[in-house]
Amino acid sequence: MAVSPELNLENMDETARLKALREYSILDTLPEPRFDRISQMATRLFKVPMALISFIDENRQWFKSCQGLNVQETPKQQTFCLHTIASDELMVVPDAVLDARFADNLWVTGELGVRFYAGAPLIAPNGAQLGTLCILDTKPRELDESDRETLRDLAALVIDELQLRQVLSTREENEGRLRLLESAIVHANDAILITEAEPINQPGPRIIYANEAFLRTTGYTLQEVMGKTPRLLQGPKTQRDQLDKIRAALEKWESVVVEMINYRKDGSEFWVELSIVPIADERGWFTHWVSIQRDITSRRESEAAHRESEARKTAIFENSLDAIVTMNADGEIVEWNQAAEKIFGYSREEAKGCDLANLIIPPAFHEAHRSGLARYLGTGEARILNHRLELPAMCADGREITVELIVTRLSTEVELLFAGFIRDLTEQKLIEAAFVAARDEAECANNAKSEFLSRMSHELRTPLNAILGFSQILQMEEGIEPLRDIVDDIHDAGRHLLLLINEVLDISRIEAGQLALSPEPVAVREVASEALILIAPLAAKVNVSIEASVILDSELYVLADRQRLVQCLLNLLANAVKYNRDNGHVDFECLSVAPGSDASENGGTEYLQIRLRDTGIGIEAEKMQRLFIPFDRLGAEQGGIEGTGLGLSLTKSLVEEMGGTLGVESTPGVGSTFWLELPIAESALPQALNGFSDENNNSEIAIESSVLLIEDNPRNLRVIERILAHRPRIKLLAALQGKLGLELARQHQPDLILLDLHLPDMQGDAILLALKAQQSTRDIPVVILSADATLGQIERLKADGAREYITKPINVPQFLAMIDFILSGK
């Protein structure tokens, strides 16, 4: 229904009206008796079936109280009341059917059948028309002046109730808020104390309230603190200056915050942060002090711990022997410790804030430093962080030093920093240089020593060849008996000297790392038997039996240098025999050893243990650690047993060079067990002709043969002549020079050539090559005779075509066996 044109709603300040309505917060509330009483009173007073109290907002008429009809709200435009609130006056419609404004209103035409309407506007004290109190009838009627007055009074009563309701609800709200505040204070985590405002000085303001947290932290009950002053919290350590600060603030009625030590009832201390504020009444008079106390003991403790840790860090920073320098993302120095001052010569004040590159990085490295920093900041790619680097650095006096540097990123919340830990390597470099020089010098000296020993041994071997050769020849001569003891002594002394020379030479080679070994699969049985054959004469001489059936039956191979292994076994066998007792015994056996439980220990390799158990004098425990010291014979030199004191140390070095180990167990008076372990090899390589011995080659050649000896030393020539005198079917030709030797070889086509390596006109190896190069001499077997026993040399000459290589001094029986072997065409 359109608003009637007579209505002057334009004049109403609708916004102000709606604002006033909202302030009463009445819309959409539940029915209340105080309003229902008024509407009921209206129905009774006016004897009408319907009375309504309603409020009108922007869209609707909402009913707070309804008598005679049940309605919540209706659209605003359809209402009588909209007309009522358009003025401050009552609106009376005696018969709506006859009133053009309402004749077709739904309330009139519909089920309600309203004919009469009288409404009084509900006018707030500020003049806003909030709604209406209206009475309705289904019959037309009139209102006299007294009725009108009554209706107005009832409307005024509605407004009074509305006002009262508002006052009550505001009070309730305030009370609720007060309860909330009180509960907040009572239950606050911080201790809260309220005192009177005065007296500020003696005895101090009296406590009128303390909350739960206060009682909890201090241990007092409420009764114990009420009426007292806050001084009961103070004690000997309470800071005087903080108390003065409080008093000064209180005297000026100002708030204050302090931190100080308070005391609990039981006398224990705690730290509080105390905030005191004055409270004034509505006239502005200060009536109370409120103090809020926060227990900051743990904060103070962690601050103290932090300070301590800072102090420790500073002490480390300052006392570090390394320079510690921190740099920010702009490359500027932030911190510079004392060591940095000392190393680089800049004081902390000079260094701080400077560009690190300009200060200590040599110009050649500036670009790398800057681009590295930019790359890290841009992409996070760190190339040098947390790596040890060795770099040059610049000092204040222009010196360039070498430093060791490690840079790490410091994660601070404030800014990105890099810390460099820098060590001056100048002194270390000098030491290293001196060390390298000393090492080079020592190496030089060592090489010279090795060279000297090698030469000396060569020089010593040559005359020994004569001594040993002749003494052996003499031993074979008939009619020598009266002089045999002397000849034997000469021979023994010569052999001892030879042994000594060989062992010294080997040890010096091992020390110089020049010992060339040729590891190959070696049949244990063979090397054992070779060593046994060589030791047999000595064992027989001193009456010691050797049980070797286990090792001689062994089918196993070890990875070793064949010659050297024989040498090692011989040394150990010789000791087991020498240091045995009369009628003593030696067990020479072997057993395979499974890899250790930790397979990585030896890579899972299986080892063969060769054991020599003797029944000899044994070794005392305290002497054990001297066992492998060269020349230390552990006192055996006094017992008349021949020896050099080098055998065990050489054996140990050789075994270790071959990848094995040497060990010993011994019980004095019972015997010793020496064992060596070597890796077991899969199978044997094809064996070359190995060693000769007179014992297994005693078949003297039956046919006539010729042997050419190319040798410049007449004494050695005589030795060979005398040896070969034992082979009367051999015709010996001799050449004192190389070229002559070649000539004789061509002319006479000997069956064998014995070639010395050092000749006045030509080197032996050149002669060998010349022999092998000529058709006529190519097939003649050549045996090299030399005092030079280096493995490399032997291998080289064998590769050039030498059939055998005999080292001087010559072992006569072996030499003869070899000659027999070759000449008999084996």
* Residue ranges in contact with ligand ADP by CB under 6 A: 571, 575-576, 579, 614, 616-619, 627, 633-634, 636, 643-649, 672
Q: Which is nearer to ligand ADP, 120 or 617 (CB)?
A: 617
Minimum distance, C-beta of residue 702 to ligand ADP, in the bound complex (Å): 42
Minimum distance, C-beta of residue 639 to ligand ADP, in the bound complex (Å): 8
Q: Which is nearer to ligand ADP, 71 or 500 (CB)?
A: 500
Minimum distance, C-beta of residue 660 to ligand ADP, in the bound complex (Å): 17
Q: Which is nearer to ligand ADP, 133 or 574 (CB)?
A: 574
How far is residue 387 from each of residues 384, 406, 420, 426, measured CA to CA in Å?
6, 6, 11, 20
**Which is it for strands 752-756 and 73-75: parallel, antiparallel or unpaired?**
unpaired
Q: Which is nearer to ligand ADP, 219 or 668 (CB)?
A: 668
Minimum distance, C-beta of residue 667 to ligand ADP, in the bound complex (Å): 11
| 280: Cβ contacts below 8 Å, ≥ 6 apart | 286, 287
DSSP single-letter state for residue 92: E
3-state secondary structure at position 412: coil
CA distance 693 to 567: 15
CA distance 277 to 365: 63
Q: Which is nearer to ligand ADP, 575 or 697 (CB)?
A: 575
Output the residue with the shortest Cβ distance to ligand ADP. Answer: 643
CA distance 723 to 718: 9
3-state secondary structure at position 106: helix
CA distance 681 to 382: 50
Q: Which is nearer to ligand ADP, 176 or 635 (CB)?
A: 635
The percent helix, strand, coil of the chain (3-state, each to 5) is 45, 25, 30
Token readout for 57 is 């907002």
Q: Which is nearer to ligand ADP, 460 or 619 (CB)?
A: 619
Minimum distance, C-beta of residue 385 to ligand ADP, in the bound complex (Å): 56
Q: Which is nearer to ligand ADP, 643 or 679 (CB)?
A: 643
Minimum distance, C-beta of residue 616 to ligand ADP, in the bound complex (Å): 5
Minimum distance, C-beta of residue 573 to ligand ADP, in the bound complex (Å): 9
Q: Are 67 and 50 within 8 A, CB to CB?
A: yes
Minimum distance, C-beta of residue 464 to ligand ADP, in the bound complex (Å): 19
Q: Are 244 and 264 within 8 A, CB to CB?
A: no
Q: Which is nearer to ligand ADP, 593 or 634 (CB)?
A: 634
Length of the chain: 826
CA distance 226 to 210: 8
Q: Which is nearer to ligand ADP, 54 or 649 (CB)?
A: 649
Burial 553-585 (b: 16+ CB within 10 A, else e): ebebbbbbbbbbbbbbbbbbbbbbbbbbeeebb
Minimum distance, C-beta of residue 663 to ligand ADP, in the bound complex (Å): 13
Minimum distance, C-beta of residue 670 to ligand ADP, in the bound complex (Å): 11
Q: Which is nearer to ligand ADP, 94 or 645 (CB)?
A: 645
- Nearest alpha-carbon partner for 395 in 342, 320, 457: 342
Q: Which is nearer to ligand ADP, 567 or 649 (CB)?
A: 649
For CA atoms 558, 561, 563, 567, the dihedral sign is negative
Minimum distance, C-beta of residue 659 to ligand ADP, in the bound complex (Å): 21
CA distance 672 to 580: 9
Minimum distance, C-beta of residue 539 to ligand ADP, in the bound complex (Å): 13
Burial 165-186 (b: 16+ CB within 10 A, else e): beeeeeeeeeeeeeeeeeeebe
**Which is it for strands 557-561 and 545-547: parallel, antiparallel or unpaired?**
unpaired
Which run of H or of E encompasses 510? helix 484-511
| 821: Cβ contacts below 8 Å, ≥ 6 apart | 689, 692, 697
* Angle, CA of 385, 390 and 396, to the nearest 5°: 100
Minimum distance, C-beta of residue 669 to ligand ADP, in the bound complex (Å): 11
Beta bridge partners of residue 661, listed in sequence order: 677
- Which amino acid would we find at residue 526? E
Minimum distance, C-beta of residue 679 to ligand ADP, in the bound complex (Å): 24
Q: Which is nearer to ligand ADP, 462 or 672 (CB)?
A: 672
Q: Which is nearer to ligand ADP, 406 or 636 (CB)?
A: 636
Q: Quickly count: other Cβ atoms within 10 Å of residue 216's Cβ.
A: 12
Q: Are 769 and 800 within 8 A, CB to CB?
A: yes
- Nearest alpha-carbon partner for 401 in 420, 427, 419: 427
Q: Which is nearer to ligand ADP, 7 or 627 (CB)?
A: 627
3-state secondary structure at position 621: helix
CA distance 322 to 421: 6
Q: Which is nearer to ligand ADP, 337 or 580 (CB)?
A: 580
| 394: Cβ contacts below 8 Å, ≥ 6 apart | 344, 359, 360, 361, 362, 400
Minimum distance, C-beta of residue 563 to ligand ADP, in the bound complex (Å): 18
Minimum distance, C-beta of residue 577 to ligand ADP, in the bound complex (Å): 9
Minimum distance, C-beta of residue 612 to ligand ADP, in the bound complex (Å): 7
- Which amino acid would we find at residue 539? A
**Which is it for strands 60-67 and 73-75: parallel, antiparallel or unpaired?**
antiparallel
DSSP single-letter state for residue 527: H
Q: Which is nearer to ligand ADP, 211 or 457 (CB)?
A: 457
Phi first, then psi, for residue 478 (nearest 5°) are -85, 160
Q: Which is nearer to ligand ADP, 136 or 619 (CB)?
A: 619
Minimum distance, C-beta of residue 614 to ligand ADP, in the bound complex (Å): 5
